A = this chain, B = another copy of it.
Amino acid sequence: MVSDAESAPVFAKPPVTLREVAAAAGVSVATASKALNGQGRMTAETRERIRETARLLGFRPNSLAQSLLRKRSFTVGLLTNDTYGRFSLPLMAGVSDALVDKGVSVFLCNVEDDPRLGQLHVEAMLDKRVDGIVATGKRIDRHLPVDLSNLRIPVVYAFTQPDPGAVGLVSDDAGGARLAVEHFLRLGRRRVAHVTGPASFAVVHTRAEAYRDVLRENGLAVGEPLLGAWSEGWGHEAVAKLFGRANREGWPNAVFCGNDQIARGVIDALRERGIRVPDDVGVIGFDNWEIVAEATRPPLTSVDMNLASLGREAGLALLSLVDGQPAAPGIRKLPCRLVVRQSG
């Protein structure tokens, strides 16, 4: 019979401490610390001997102890309410990537839309002495269910509604919409329709406004944007509305869609009607959700919000705030980019 103690994995062997390194090298902990950090004064020979000893013993300083002393934990909290992750994950990966190289780790805090959960996470972050917080959401026009306004640590908002006076980073939706519409115009398409999401989303209006602006600036007729849902189904319906009229003269020859799912619905519906994309009608989506954009037939041209860069910028912004460099409060808009495939 095998005893539990025997079958259980043996972790044991606690990490080697600075004290042990110092003892092994025959110096005091103070000297050892200074040797490893390049501080203090000592003979090059002593310093090297200590370093070598540390290397041999596999010494790694205890971050907890360092943080306690330095009042800087080299960790930040990342709040999100987007479990679904289409927007969140690239953003989060961006934040993480920007920080890992600076030795900063990221706490993942999924707050759903639950204020209790939000409170719980924020308190945990504060207790763990994070240096700052990045707040992320799935909507640019909604607050997270937490109050971050009077924390004693800096907060950066990325892709979510910032508190007044705080630093916020969002994608430049108007610019993204311009990119799409101007691309159509450059290709000679002059009857551009816009099919987008529900009126309750701020970005719907931002993008629609930019759409109108570009057309007006070019002296073209401005169609009324079609507001609906963020779904393929709505794309189908919208095509029925736009292309239902008998006289083909009234048909648009370009459709700028509020997201890729709508665009997918539009493309499928057009094909079912025998209207060719891009020959007869160009289609551009928004979000550049690759898995969708690459599966449409033909592959979808789409506006990319550069969320990974947005995340990186947010991480860096937080870091400079943590370092005490004052940042201009307010919302900074980061440019989108158009990913041209074959649909428009």
Interface residues of A (CB under 8 A from B): 4, 7-9, 11-15, 60-65, 67-68, 71, 73, 75, 78, 83-86, 88-90, 92-93, 96-97, 100-101, 103, 105-110, 117, 120-121, 123-129, 151-154, 165, 231-233, 261, 264-265, 268, 291, 295, 324, 326, 329
Please pick, from B11, B85, B106, the residue contacting A89 in the complex, using a CB distance under 8 A: B85
Give this chain's copy count. Answer: 2
Q: Which 5 A-B pairs have the closest CB atoms?
A: A85-B89, A8-B326, A108-B108, A85-B85, A63-B127
- Complex: A123 Cα to B62 Cα, angstroms: 11
What residue of chain B has the Cβ atom nearest to residue A95's Cβ?
B108
Give me 7 other A-B pairs in contact (C-beta within 8 A), A9-B326, A85-B85, A261-B291 excluded: A11-B151, A61-B127, A64-B68, A64-B129, A83-B93, A92-B110, A105-B128
Instruction: Give every chain B residue within 8 A of A97 (Cβ-Cβ).
Output: 110
- Complex: A15 Cα to B153 Cα, angstroms: 11
| Dominant SS among interface residues on chain A | mixed
Q: A62-B127, A64-B128 are in contact. Are A108 and B110 (CB under 8 A)?
A: no
Closest beta carbon of chain B to A221's beta carbon, Å: 32
The answer to whether B126 touches A100, judged by C-beta atoms less than 8 angstroms apart, is no
